[in-house]
Amino acid sequence: MVQYGINLLVFFTLFSTFADGRLKLPPYPPDVNYTPTFPQLVANNGYKAETHKVITEDGYILTLFRIPRGRKCRGPIRQPPVLIMHGFISSADGYIDSDPNTDLGYLIPDECYDTWFGSFRGTFYSRGHVKLNPNTDRKFWQFSTDEMGMYDVPAFIDYVLYITGSEQLNYIGFSQGGGTFFIMCSERPGYCNKAKLFIGLAPATRHLNTRSLSFRLISQAFNGILKPLEDAGIYEIFTKGFPLQRLLNFLCRNNIMAGIICGTMVAILDNPNPGSITANTLRIVYEHTPAGISTKLLARYGQAMTETEFLKFDYGPTVNTQLYGSTTPPAYNLSAVTCPVVVIQGRNDGIVDMRDSLWAAKQMPNLLEYHIVTDPLWTHADNTKSQYIPKYTFPTVRKYLREYSANGGGGSDDESSRIPMSYLLSPWLK
């Protein structure tokens, strides 16, 4: 039954790619904002959000949201500000999908942090460029995590520091949002010093040990057919407002259907953790997920499934030689992640396997803690969607944010889940 579900999911993903695609990129649907936006979602829960626009060095126009103060904050705003980055096929909305009492996007502002939420290029919030039209220019979609780490993350950091007047910020990255931070540290000397603290929720680097068969099959399939897809004019996939996202939204509108169909889909893509993600959360998730990515980005994850290192995009021997000076792509330097690092990892994560995140963490010179979630069934999706975040992961997040804040204090810690350190050994602003 599980294998049948995987086969169906892979087939549907490939089919929807061609259903979404056109020989020329289609215009964005006029009713793409038929679901609430980030500011509307947080306003519904009694919070106020600001919307900011950021321009990267290579011309992408990105959206950055800010919750300057939480509804439950009763004291002075803690310093430095906090920047939170989302994972694959998600957007800034991924941190506010559920209950204000359980979502990191609310829990952190409620601790009196000036909290910022970025959306990577290609998502429906960041689908703009100073020169390129995403509907007609294929060059717009020529990006993967390489460009996100090289340009998007530094632009977000520079903007937050510029607006707040702070010299540093605390950075929280889930999955792709963590891996792109590592890319920045490797490729942009000095930028790691702008982060006072990095907290990675299952940060993604290599995917050699990924256990999700569906994610492995889909991403590797796209890597294999990337050129035919691009030759057919298909550069964008998993777009908000197109058939795949509309169908998921329709199927998950009812809480019963969300729990059965959409809950099963999450389990197939990741791993099961019954009852961890509520049906109501799933219903909200699929109102704005998937949020849009490039086909090249998905192909990049396909390449990572067989890599023993955290490598740059593999264009093939000829282009690699032109770009990198070698027939194979070079590895990112994880020892360049010199800021204090905390990694939070679940044992049952089907996307970012513990063996891969531990492999990466052991190379970082200032690793504070590799925190294993005590729930043995904790999955990848649980990091941002579980109703049990306040119990299993937020105490660790809060502890380190307080320790690395000017007016912080202590926090709770679960020593039983901690690996001993002995084992682990922008121009446009100017």
Question: What was the pLDDT predicted at 257?
Answer: 65
Token digits of residue 325: 């000076």
pLDDT, one tens digit for every residue, the chain (430 residues): 444 344 444 444 544 554 454 434 444 444 444 568 999 999 999 999 999 999 999 999 999 999 999 999 999 999 999 999 999 999 999 999 889 999 999 999 999 999 999 999 999 999 999 999 999 999 999 999 999 999 999 999 999 999 999 999 999 999 999 999 999 999 998 999 999 999 999 999 999 999 999 999 999 999 999 999 999 999 999 887 766 667 777 777 766 666 677 778 888 899 999 999 998 898 888 888 788 999 999 999 999 999 999 999 999 999 999 999 999 999 999 999 999 999 999 999 999 999 999 999 999 999 999 999 999 999 999 999 999 999 999 999 999 999 999 864 333 333 333 333 333 333 333 3
CA dihedral 299, 214, 292, 314 (to 10 degrees): -10
User: Is 380 considered catalytic here?
Assistant: yes
CATH code, domain with 209: 3.40.50.1820
pLDDT digits (tens, 9 = 90+) for 296-322: 999 999 999 999 999 999 999 999 999
Question: What was the pLDDT predicted at 1?
Answer: 41
Token digits of residue 221: 């399939």
> What pTM value is reported for the model?
0.88
Number of structural domains the chain divides into: 1
Question: What was the pLDDT predicted at 425?
Answer: 32
Selected catalytic residue, list 175, 186, 214, 357: 175
Domain residues for the domain of 187 are: 2-429
Selected catalytic residue, list 380, 386, 405, 417: 380
User: Is 175 considered catalytic here?
Assistant: yes
pLDDT digits (tens, 9 = 90+) for 139-195: 999 999 999 999 999 999 999 999 999 999 999 999 999 999 999 999 998 999 999
Question: What was the pLDDT predicted at 402?
Answer: 97
> Is residue 272 classed exposed, middle or buried when 0-12, 13-18 and 19+ CB atoms within 10 A define those classes?
middle
